[in-house]
Amino acid sequence: MNAKAVRPSPRPESSTRSRCGQPQQSRPPHAATTAGRKCPGESGTSWTDCLGLLLVVAVTAANVGDRDAAAGLLTRLRRMHRDITLVWADGGYTGGLVGWCRDKLALTLEIVKRTDDMAVFVVLPRRWVAERTFAWLMNSRRLARDYETLPATSEAMIRWSMVTRMGRRLARSRADGRR
């Protein structure tokens, strides 16, 4: 028997978690299916700082595109962090969002694109920061699978995971300094 695992491809500033392999009795009202994969689930869009620390996060239905979710999230990012002027994003955020950020939010949205002639794996500038953040989040058992039924609960679990990680990091650095 050949079993094939469906693994969504992570992109910077967004993470898609789906329930493809799990039986599902009923779908919550916010759940939807993506166009490419017929899997119910949620899509999370997050923005991090240069160190990979979470600034803002939003969890939406899987059929809401990254560009659509980014407008509200960038507005919240600007309101919460007035000192940020430059934002890096992947190719999924191209189009009118760049001009909208410049005109409405006074943010510079710089798109990090990959070249079309890539034959081997190449680390893209700034992309690894978001990928590392996703790896940190996936270390939390609660986030490794999609157990939550409400988007607000999913957002809270993502925030809680980052709070726990930062608490451990701060405690470790203080303990190392006392020795």
Vertex 157 angle, CA 88 and 15, to 5°? 35
Q: What per-residue string of b and e applies to 5-24 under the rule 16 or more CB within 10 Å gives b?
A: eeebebbbbbbbbbbeeeee
Contact 102, 109 (CB under 8 A): yes
Distance CA 5, CA 89 (A): 28
Give the chain's mean pLDDT. 76
Distance CA 104, CA 85 (A): 13
pLDDT in tens, 47-86: 888 888 889 998 888 888 888 889 999 999 999 999 999 9
Distance CA 98, CA 89 (A): 10
pLDDT in tens, 98-124: 999 999 999 999 988 877 777 787 777
Q: What is the pLDDT of residue 178?
A: 59
Helix (H) or strand (E) holding 33: strand 32-33
Residue 109, number of CB atoms within 10 A of its CB: 19
Q: Is 55 helix (H, G, I), strand (E, B) or coil?
A: strand
- Which tokens is 109 given? 């949205």
166 or 31, greater pLDDT: 166
Which has the closest alpha carbon to 140: 172, 173, 168, 162?
162
